[in-house]
Amino acid sequence: MGSHFLDSQEDLLLLIPGPTPVPGRVLRAGSRPMMNHRCPAFHELLTSITADLRGCFGTSGDPLTLTASGTGGLEAAVVNTLSPGDAVLSVVTGAFGVRFAEIATAYGANVTRLDFEWGQAADPAAVADALAAGDYKAVLLTLNETSTGVVNPVQQLAALAREAGALVLVDAISGLLATPCETDGWDLDVVVAGSQKAFMIPPGLTFVTMSERAWTASKSATMPRFYFDLAAAAKTLEKGENPWTPAVSLLYGLRESLDMIVEEGLSNVQRRHERLRDGVRAGAAELGFTPLAEAAVASPAVTSFRPPGGLEGDALRKILRNKYGLELAGGQGPLKGKIVRFGHLGYVHDADVLKGLSLLGAALDELGHDVDAGRALAAAREAMGR
């Protein structure tokens, strides 16, 4: 391929776990002119968004929309429910579990980290043991660990934490909509999501739900907060506003993407992500890739692979980007350079999986690997039921 086809970053096939591809109609919605964020039309916009977010989170509460990256949402979860010195159990299965623990530590919580090997899901028995050995005010969980491509058994872990009387704070940033997460049904206290994941809009918004128990905790929580003060966000939401000037263009896009999500149906959205995961895993296996996560805990949002034949992950990614126009994500922390992460999150369809696999096969062939691209594509199609 001539490089002039690839000199514009925007023409890449973007298969990373965020920012995810944004549908054309959402991009167009996001390019509408500005409005006053203190006027009736804005009130309608935010109120209708909040109503649809309830369905996405599976809650009767009001998910709060904040202008920030997902990390800001995690900070909001911590500082609105906890006080310095509070004992917190942080269940860590990868880079984003580490980050959640670091936030709680930065604000003075007394954090005990329970670490699992990267690529493994958290083991409920180990979590139960840890809970029995301490008296925790809160447990920090990751629904979908983006750095490894593992889904944690949040329902089960949350039940253990609730039994132990702890608040359950869940990073669902890359998991929500792609994999089940029932805020009310699983009795979760704080759930955090992000815009640039299955919500199919650009980064810049994060969504946070609070249970009644979390709101009660917030009244005595003394960690300092201002920008991320959720009580302020809940109060202004009553009149359809944010406390501060919100990212209006992203809200325009969100209104459109929520329409698409409602049109497709929440259960269909989840099934699609599971189907894509199965296709990616089946096809990549035929190409010689080794998945990091076992099938039972494999993420419907992103799949991490070790490349075949000891090939370095970042070297493969560079060829894919520069010669084939495919953007995959790399490894983080101890997995840096060792893996590639194939995102199948958000506005991604069966055809994108086939395209991605075909380019993976071409790059491997160019590097002298013996690959049968046809067999990989057939395996993916079969796994996706097509």
Q: Where along the sequence are the contacts to a copy of itself (CB under 8 A)? A: 9-12, 14, 16, 18-22, 27-28, 30-39, 41-42, 67-72, 75, 102-103, 106-108, 194, 196, 202-204, 223-229, 243-250, 321, 327, 329-330
Contact 330, 313 (CB under 8 A): yes
- Tell me how far, at minimum, the Cβ of 201 lies from a copy of itself, in Å: 9
Contact 123, 153 (CB under 8 A): no
- DSSP for residue 34: P
Nearer Cβ to a copy of itself (106/133): 106
How many residues are given for the chain?
386
Nearer Cβ to a copy of itself (102/365): 102
Instruction: Pick the closest to residue 72 from 46, 49, 100 (CA basis).
Output: 100
Supply φ then ψ for residue 384, to 5 degrees.
-90, 0
The answer for residues whose C-beta is within 8 angstroms of residue 378's C-beta and 6 or more apart is: none
Nearer Cβ to a copy of itself (318/375): 318
- Tell me how far, at minimum, the Cβ of 295 lies from a copy of itself, in Å: 27
Nearer Cβ to a copy of itself (75/286): 75
> How far is Cα 359 from Cα 321, in angstroms, rounded to an integer?
10
- Tell me how far, at minimum, the Cβ of 108 lies from a copy of itself, in Å: 6
- Tell me how far, at minimum, the Cβ of 72 lies from a copy of itself, in Å: 5
Nearer Cβ to a copy of itself (88/157): 88
Nearer Cβ to a copy of itself (15/297): 15
Nearer Cβ to a copy of itself (58/194): 194
> How far is Cα 80 from Cα 209, in angstroms, rounded to an integer?
11
The answer for residues whose C-beta is within 8 angstroms of residue 383's C-beta and 6 or more apart is: 275, 278, 279, 281, 282, 283
Q: Is 283 exposed, middle or buried (0-12, 13-18, 19+ CB in 10 A)?
A: buried
Give, for 343, the enclosing helix (H) or strand (E): strand 340-343
Is the peptide bond prior to 19 cis by the omega test (within 30 degrees of 0)?
yes
